[in-house]
Structure formats: structure tokens, C-alpha cells
Amino acid sequence: MADAIDVLVVGGGPVGLALGSALGRAGLAVTVLERRDAPDPRPKASHVHGPVLEGLACAGVTETDLEAGRPMFGARHRHRDRLVAEVDTRVAPGRWPWSLALPQPELEAVLEGHARAAGVTIVRGADVVAVDVDAPSVEAVVGGERARFAGTWVVGC
């Protein structure tokens, strides 16, 4: 069994990486368990809303990290050359009063870099098949070789 840690984060997508980074920056020992062996190069999201960008500051994300993106004030959705929807992505005033067009793989790379810099351990190829809760600790059981990771808290992302 691995050494006990403070927080096990199950899921290494944007939410899990951001949470892991924020907790690591707060001084907690964090391990992120991700079932994929490598980052998925296919985008599942194309932009990030302004309030989310505000929250990512807790994970260490800075404006410099976001330079690859571009402001997005709206979107038009078409089907067979016919406009079917128009969306205004501007939100209430703030640091980012718009959405940022930034493909998910690029955002995940930024978040993973911040998580690692905060001392977070990221384990890829770790398909969690069970979580055993036995106060005062929790264990995540990983399929395949049935590895176990013990911690005080577990969060599913």
C-alpha cells in the first residue's frame, strides 16, 4: 500500500487537476488518480467562462497561462447553413467579463503543470474500481494490479 496522503482526487480532467493544484498550494499532500494513460488530445470543451477563470486563480493559473486563448463574446450555431442559436457569452463585469476560447487539452496541460509544481502526485492508468471508507481513512482501489492508495479524504471529479 502506498504512503497515506491527505487527499485522493479521483479524476485527472480539468476539475480534478484544478482541485489537486489548489489543495497542493494550500500545503496538503495530494494524489490525483486518472484512468487514462495519457492526456486526451481531443477537446471536449472549447472555452472557459469568466467566473471559472476567476476560480482557476486558486489553482495558480495566471493571465500568462491563458495567453494561448482568445476572448470570446458570443457564439453562433448553424445547421446546414441555417442559424439555429446565438449565444452571448459575456457575463457580469469582472476580471474576465467574457469566455476564453481555449481547447480543453491546452487547459489541462496548464493545470497539470501547476499541480506538479504544487507537489501533487499524478498517477495515470489508475482506473479506480472501488473506494473503501474505514474511518479515519479512505482507500481507492485501482483495477488491474489492484493497487491501493490510502488517504484521509477522497474526492471524485
CB atoms within 10 A of CB 2: 15
Give the pLDDT of the chain (157 residues) as one tens digit per residue.
456 699 999 999 999 999 999 999 999 999 999 999 999 998 888 889 888 998 999 899 998 999 989 998 888 889 999 999 998 888 767 788 888 999 999 999 999 999 999 999 999 999 998 888 876 778 888 886 668 888 899 999 9
From the candidate CATH numbers 3.40.50.300, 3.50.50.60, 3.90.1170.50, 3.40.50.880, the one assigned to the domain spanning 5-63+104-156: 3.50.50.60
C-alpha 125/C-alpha 102 separation (Å) is 26
pTM for the predicted model, two decimal places: 0.86
C-alpha 34/C-alpha 82 separation (Å) is 40
- Write the DSSP assignment of the chain as a string of letters: -PPPEEEEEE--SHHHHHHHHHHHHTT--EEEEESSSS---S-S--EE-HHHHHHHGGGT--TGGGTTSEEE-EEEEEETTEEEEEEE---SSSS--SEEE--HHHHHHHHHHHHHHTT-EEEES--EEEEEEETTEEEEEETTTTEEEEEEEEEE-
What does the pLDDT read at residue 2?
52
Query: What is the amino acid identity at position 26?
Result: A
